[in-house]
Amino acid sequence: MSKLIRRSNIRQLQASVALALVSSLFVAAAHAHGDVAPQPVDTKDLPKLKGEQAVNPYRGTPNAKKAAEIGSSAFNQNCARCHGLGAVSGGIAPDLRYLPEGKEGDEFFAMRIRNGSVRNGVTYMPPFGNLFSEEAIWAIRSYLDSVQVAE
């Protein structure tokens, strides 16, 4: 009988440990979207922009490739946590590879990155307009242009 009790206790302990591990994964996932300090974006190799831009000023220019390279680093350091590496979303936030092309996509992107997204008092995306330079914003958009997928 004591062997049976010990086996039962061991199984209960194993089940409790397994439950605790699974629970900790859910807690970690829930906190993974928490506060994160934005990382600086080095845009010294891009021409300075004057004022807010409405469309991607780097698209179709000799600076497009460099902007996409800088944008890739900026995206991976600041955006990938929610939008996924390579802009392939894991479901937390929209898959940015499907942003509309051209002016329509640029306008939406600029509005969202500058102002963020709040619904019913819940912040879904923080605003980055006061944190990122115009050069950084459009470098990230240039990167997203480079990974765009047709629907």
53 with 136: CB under 8 angstroms? Answer: no
Q: What is the pLDDT of residue 91?
A: 81
Residue from 127, 105, 108, 130 nearest 117 by CA:
127
- Would you identify the CATH topology of the domain 38-146? Cytochrome Bc1 Complex; Chain D, domain 2 (1.10.760)
Residue type, 19: L
Residues facing 117 on adjacent strands:
125
Q: What is the pLDDT of residues 25-35, one digit of tens each?
A: 444 444 444 56
Residue type, 90: G
Q: What is the pLDDT of residues 95-127, one digit of tens each?
A: 999 999 999 999 999 999 999 999 999 999 999
Number of other residues whose CB lies within 10 A of the CB of residue 46 = 22
Handedness of CA 31, 33, 34, 35 (dihedral sign): positive
Domain edges within the chain: 1-32, 38-146
What phi and psi values does residue 121 have, to the nearest 5 degrees?
80, 5
The pTM of this model reads 0.76
Q: Which residues of the chain have pLDDT under 70?
A: 1-8, 13, 15-36
